Structure 1
Amino acid sequence: MSFVLVEKPRPQVALVTMNRPERMNAMAFDVMIPLRETLERIAADNEVRVVVLTGAGPGFSSGADLQGAGAVPNIGGLTRTTVARRSMDLLNDVMRALRRMHQPVIAAINGAAIGGGFCLSLGADIRVAAEPAYFRAAGINNGLTSTELGMSYLLPRAVGASRAFEIMLSGRDVDAAEAERIGLVSRTVPAADLLDACYGMAERILGYSRVGVELTKRMLWSGLEANSFEAHMEHEGTAQLYVRLTTENFDEAIRARRDRRPPVFED
């Protein structure tokens, strides 16, 4: 059985599904390692311009697999402490793979996103939630920290510091309606409409130039990390000038608007 499925439901759109519904797509290594490999493979696929990530069954991902984490590769002769460190690195690599993808990633959050599953959703560029979805930073509930896989970095940037502190320290559930209200997700839709809503968003993105989309994603993430407003503006300006001077996209947009037709952009 494959724990990660890939489909191409629309031209230039890949649907990646974590496929272990009986375990709520928990983040066992036999799911997460193939997921990372799949994301890296899709990142190199120039036929794919937008990725939708979801979970099979009623959950997006329930985080740590409490029944069995699966086999960690290449740990022979290591101590328990070093095995734990290598294990965390493997999970971190999934988040890095999401971040490094050229393509925008839309998380279609169909159900529970708990602990590491919550983190995984935060690694996507856009989040859309089904009405039954909910989020929980579960580490604190289990006597650990809620700081894993970049959550203490990503969540405050998504919802603001005070809300992030409260969500992570209380361990409470955030339902889909609240998630939309506080900006954790872009929108909430009925469960039956979730994938179509994501595909519609993807098709709108596909109407723009590849280089414009990819650089916009890169600049947005760079802005979240920037230590200097002025330095980041310089990076933005360089990206804008690069597209303006190396493509005919801007001129095509003007012509298309004049001719009352959709623009046809260069990659």
Structure 2
Amino acid sequence: MSVLELREEGSIAWLTMNRPERLNALNAELVQALRDYFLGLSARSSARVVVLQGAGRAFCAGLDLKDHAAGSETRSVPEVLEQQKGIRDIMLAMRRCPQPIISLVQGAASGGGFGLALASDIRLATPDARMNAAFIRIGLSACDVGVSYFLPRMVGSSVAAEYLLTGRFMDAQRAQALGLVSRVAPLAELQAEAQALADDMLHATPLGLRLTKDALGFAVDAPSMEAVIAMEDRNQVLCTQTADFREGMQAFLDKRPPHYLGR
């Protein structure tokens, strides 16, 4: 049984973490599978949108402490650093890949699971979803795998400090009130909403979708409005030079679905 199941339906990839008996906790095998998948995505991949979810009653409970503890006393500092980089590389790859990522957060999203949710572009949550920076509750800093980068930018510094300094759980209702998740509903409804969101994204040209994700990511750290607008200007000019742009314009005028070729 694979710890990471992939199902592609057209241009949509449904990616399921599949260790339900361990609440999809991150063991070495799952870390490697997630890392390889997201690092392997490119503009030429068959998938244009990724939906990430967990099998069973949890999204991801974070690092599998039983797996991590095995042999941990004999690991050197360089070995532990390489392990740490292996996990953080997942989040970096999620932000760098051209595909928008929709996460369906069901049940626990703790520690590394919280990081996976935050590294996604869109988060949808079930009513029982609970997210926290669990690292601080097991003798570590709460600032790990990008969480201290993403959370203050998404919910503000005071709220981020509240959850990072305490390790408290954020429930789905507060996450929605803070704008951290876009919708709270039962899982079946979230899966239908993820499908609808992905379908809408596929109305964009491949280049337009890719550059939009890029620009949203860069705009967060841009030094000025002028820098953001300069990036937007570049993106628009690039898009107008493609055959897909001409197809999109014609399809709009003809009132028909566009047929994009990625050119």
Fold shared per TM-score above 0.5:
yes
- The structure 2 residue matched to 1:244, chosen from 240, 244, 249, is 240
- SS in structure 1 opposite 2:236? helix
Residue 225 of structure 2 is matched in structure 1 by: 229
Encode CA deviations 1:7-40: one digit per residue, 9 max, x unaligned: 12x3111111111111111111111111111223
User: Does residue 114 of structure 1 match 2:110?
Assistant: yes
Contact in 1 for aligned 2:59/2:107 (Cα 8 Å): yes
The answer to whether 1:88 aligns with 2:84 is yes
Shift of 1:260: 3.8
Q: How does the TM-score come out when normalised to structure 1? A: 0.89
Contact 1:54 1:60 in 2 (8 A): yes
Map 1:6-25 → 2, pairs under 5 A: 6-8=6-8, 10-25=9-24
CA deviation vs aligned residue, 1:39-70 (integer Å, no higher than 9, x gap): 23344653211111111111111112121128
Structure 2: distance between partners of 1:256 and 1:52: 27
Partner of 1:140: 136
- Counterpart of 1:103 in structure 2 is 99
SS in 1 for 2:212: helix
Q: Is the Cα–Cα contact under 8 Å of residues 205 and 244 in structure 2 kept in the other structure?
A: no
Taking a change above 3 Å as real, the CA distance of residues 64 and 46 of structure 1, as seen in their structure-2 partners, is closer
CA RMSD of aligned residues (A): 2.2
Pair 1:44–1:256, CA change in 2 (3 A): closer
Alignment of 1:158 with 2:154, yes or no, is yes
Shift of residue 195, structure 1, vs aligned partner: 1.6
Q: Counterparts in 2 of 1:1-267, with a 5 A limit?
A: 1-8=1-8, 10-43=9-42, 46-69=45-68, 80-247=76-243, 249=245, 255-265=250-260, 267=262
How many residues align? The count is 261
1:129, 1:176 within 8 Å by CA — same for their partners in 2?
Answer: yes
Alpha-carbon contact 1:110-1:133 (below 8 Å) kept: yes
Paired AA for residue 133 in structure 2: A
Moved beyond 6 Å, runs of 4+: none
Amino acid in structure 1 at the alignment position of 2:2:
S
Quote the residue 1:75 is aligned against. none
Deviations 1:223-252 (A, max 9, x none): 122233322321221111111234462x55
Counterparts of 1:258 and 1:97, CA distance in 2: 37
State which drifts further: 160-169 or 55-64.
Answer: 160-169
Segments of structure 2 that go 5 or more residues without pairing to the other structure are: none
CA distance in 2, matches of 1:253, 1:35: 34
Aligned mates of 2:114, 2:244 — CA distance in 1: 40
Q: What is the DSSP-based 3-state SS (H/G/I as helix, E as strand, rest coil) of the residue aligned with 2:67?
A: coil
Gaps of at least 5 residues in structure 1 are 73-77
Mapped to 1, the partners of 2:255 and 2:75 lie a distance apart of: 66
Residue 186 to residue 70, structure 1, CA distance change in 2 (3 Å): same
